[in-house]
Structures are given as structure tokens and as C-alpha cells.
Amino acid sequence: MVLCLPLARPPSPIISCHVHTSPTLLRTHNPRPSTSHSPAPTPPQLPPSLSLNPNSTPPPSPSPSLTCALHCPHFESCSGCTHEFNLHRPSIVDEATEFFHAHGVDDFTFDSCKLWGWRCRAKLAVRGSSVNPVVGLYQEGTHNAVDIPDCKAHHPNINAAVELLKQGITELNIEPYDEDEGTGDLRYVQMAVTTHDTALPASKRYLNGKVQVSLVWNSRNETSHNSQKLHALTNFLWKKGGRWNNNHLIHSVWANFQTSTNNIIFGNRWRHLVGEADFWENVGGIDISLAPSSFGQANTRAFNLLLQKLQKYVPYESSVTDLYAGAGVIGISLAASRKCRSVRCVEINKESKLSFEKTVNRLPSSVDSSISWHHADTSKDPVTWVRGSDVIIVDPPRKGLDPSLIEILQNISSIKHKPESSSQSPSVKDKDEKRPWILRAQEDSVQVGSKVTLEGRRTLPQTLIYISCGWESFKEDCKSLLSNKAWRLEKAHGYNFFPGTQSIEVLAVFQRGGKASQNKKKAGKKKKKRVKNDK
């Protein structure tokens, strides 16, 4: 892995990235997107990985701003990428470094991750005509779709699957959706790549990823008037790229039915049409199942790096609550890697329940934890979920934490514990529950393993781990959590989940109280003094 360092800005976090150094590959202008349907060009070859000391002088080479450039013919045409150079270090990293330094974290790190071909999940609009279909993203601020056949962010097999889809649209006379008229057959397509193929050596699994294709069809269900075209397109994709084809590209094909005229991509009805019904990926040391309707990280490699780091901050055999949990990937990975006593996953999207069940059913028998998933709104009575855990994990949407949860976390030390009789069983207590949102969470819950003891219910968290995809909202939440010294910020790490954008994924670790950090500094000073005397 080649190390790209920013110029003359010490101290700075270590930045690791892949670069290609051929000057002939550097763009001098921003061409408009190609309208041809030719296969995507072979990506430039990357040099062997190297490891450099960040304090040493790098060998002469093109500047990082050029070698870590996007080189995409669609830049400035689609709304996907916002900047073309310095993919290894977006300027927001400087702001993050200063922010964390101001809040007592001087060792903030940033991992640039994979810079090209990183996106394993994409939702694309289908527009144009059957003769000249357009499959891509909207131009910024418009609903004019732009074709992006050579997208440098996409996993190469997403581009290949899009090309195959276009062929099918043209040959079968499938009409793309017309937003103004509300007519046409195919509205959107979701492409999701699984790189979990145990039949291949680990080094070849990523490049040989298979694509789950979800067709968003402009009808109420599979029996509508244009359903024959849907099945014809499905058969075309499977015949040309399915399991029995020499070029096995397609993992499966699903249909989603949507007739609404709003901007919501997916409808409520899904149908598995062909291929493998279950979509598996391996992250955080576990196999996870993701339905096409479930949220999944677009950058699976970067997410895996984040999970590996997160696991180090969770004590062995602790009790964990995973809020905004989705299908419970984070919580389940901790149950497996840290041998947690209990893990509770809380999620508002009920579609994630099935994925959770399939994932826990595939865990090895050596995982002996109480693992549960609850369909609940974290914003309603959050103290219910905060209690009973040593560690709280929060992975909120871009808007950040719910205000009601922030308030509880700010006042964590003053939470009153209602006395509980040791003779009262959890089942009896559940029967006495009156709050409707908690009752719904209990009815829709999934429990694996033994019940949590009553003693566990009285525990309050000592560690809060915040995973943020919205930098602005994180800054506000962080300031709120630190405002009354209920928490202190211990560690922070950044990840480049979306190269080519001014976006940063943050993993921040908070500990209860403010005194320990002062004691820690004093202990550090004493330790240095002893070493000096020994000399």
C-alpha cells in the first residue's frame, strides 16, 4: 500500500492509499459522459504495495493530488463525485483533525481505503428510450439522468451488469420510465455486489464479485399488464450472465413494484425471480445476510476496516446495545469477536428483521451470547435501551442522534433505578408493561440464547461508541455529549467511505465521566519520571 502524505502540514494522521503513477493517465480536462455502450476500459494497473515511514522523505513522484485523482470521464456530469483530486485525503480531514485536537484527541487517524472500484451497492435511475437507454445518476439539482457506463467508483462488475441490462432493454423493447407522464416499465435498478465466494481464493473474491440486480418495475405486482416484459428481461439477464453462463456475472434478480409518483425509489412489494435467494457477505468476521430491501454499506471493504477497529474498544464478555442497528451487523460481529454476554439490536426498519434472523442462524456454535433484535424507535423512551448495557453503539442516519437520546446520554449519571424484586422474573415484568412502543418492540423482537438477568437490567453504560456518516451532525452531537462532562472523548478514527466526495465516516469512542482523563495524564507524567530516574 503506497503512502500518500499531504505537503507540509505536521502533525497529521497517517494516510494510506493506492496510487498509479503513469503521467499519461492524468486528465487535463473534464470530458462529458460518453453515450456509447462499449464495455468499460480496463482500469489502470496499480503498483505493488509499499510501506513508508511518515517521517521520512518520499521518493520523487507525481504529487498526491495528481496520482490520487479520479480519472473519470463522467466527472462534473453526474452528481456522484464532487471533487476530482486528492482522493486519498479530502480536505475535510484537516477540519476533523483540528476538531478532535481541540477536544483532547491528538492521535486522530484517517484511512483512505480503496480509492477506485469501491462501490458495491448502487441505486441508478433508468431513463431515456428502449433504443437509447440511460442508466445512471441525476445531474446535480435536476432530474436529468446521466449515463455513467465507465464510473470509476463502481465495482467493475456493476458497470458490466449495467451494460448487460441496457442490452436487454434494447433487444426486448423495454420502455424506461418517463417521470412527466408516469409511463414506462423500468424505473430504477439497484445493483449490489457480493464478494463472498468461498470457492475462490480470498485474493480473487473481490474482483469476481457477483451482482444482485433489483428491477424497480412500474406496476402494482407481477400480474400487471407489463409483467411479461419483466419476466423476459429477467430471463435475458440470467441466460447471458447467470450461473450456467461462462461469464457468471449475475447473482440473482429481484423485482420491486412501485407506482407512486413521488421520489421514493422502492415500493413495499418485493419478488425474488431467479438466482440465489440469499445474499451473503463477510464483514467483521461473520457472514451477514442482506435482503435487497435492507440497508447495506456501499463500501464493504472500508466498513470491514471500521468494524475491526471498533472491536478493539469493546471489552470481552460485556453487554452491548446496538442502536440504529439495521440488520444487526455491528452487534452480531461483537457477539462473535468479543464473546459478549448479551447484545441487543434496536432498529426502526422492520425489513431488517429477516436479515438478522438469517445472520444469527449462520453463526458458529461457539458463539454463546444472548442476542436479540427489536423493532423499535430509539427516540421513544431511549432509557429503556440505554439501561442494561456496558457498551452503547450508535450508528445514526446522517441527521445524527435523536434529541431524546442525547438528553438521556447527557444525564446518564442521574438516571434513577426503580427497585426490582429479585423474585420477579423478566416475563412477569413484561406482562406489566404499559408503553405501546415498548410492547410493539417486544412483540416484534427476535431472541437467540438465554435471557438477560435482572442484574444486567440495572447496568448503565461506561462506553459509548459513535459511528457517524454525517460530519456536521456528529460535531453537534459530540459537543452536546461533552457539554456537562458526563462523557469524555477518548479516541477518534476517520474512514474514506466515499472517495471523490467531501465525506468522512467517523468512529469515536467516549468514556463515562471527566476525571479519568486527568488521572490518566498524571499517571503518564509519573511514568515518564520513573523512566528518567532509571536511566
Residues contributing to the annotated binding site = 297, 324, 347, 395
Phi, psi at 433, each rounded to 5°? -65, 135
Q: Is 377 helix (H, G, I), strand (E, B) or coil?
A: coil
Q: Is the peptide bond before 382 cis (omega within 30 degrees of 0)?
A: no
Q: Is 419 helix (H, G, I), strand (E, B) or coil?
A: coil
469 belongs to the catalytic site: yes
User: Residue 211 contacts by C-beta under 8 Å, 6 or more apart in sequence?
Assistant: 157, 158, 160, 161, 191, 192, 193, 241, 249, 250, 251
- What Å distances lie between residue 415 and 44, 382, 439, CA to CA? 57, 12, 22
CA distance 1 to 48: 7
Q: Is 284 helix (H, G, I), strand (E, B) or coil?
A: coil
C-alpha cell at 63: 504529487
Active site residue: 17, 68, 469, 478, which one?
Answer: 469
Q: Which residues are annotated as a binding site for S-adenosyl-L-methionine?
A: 297, 324, 347, 395
Could you write out the DSSP letters of every residue in 420-483?
--TT--HHHHHHT---HHHHHHHHT-EEESSPPPHHHHT---SEEEEEES-HHHHHHHHHHHHT
Nearest CA-CA partner of 297 in 90, 121, 533, 118: 121
The answer to whether the CB of 346 falls within 8 A of the CB of 316 is: no
Could you write out the DSSP letters of every residue in 107-141?
--EEE----SS-B-EEEEEEEE-SSSEEEEEEPTT
CA distance 138 to 146: 6
- What Å distances lie between residue 10 and 2, 98, 511, CA to CA? 19, 12, 28
Active-site residues, by number, are 469
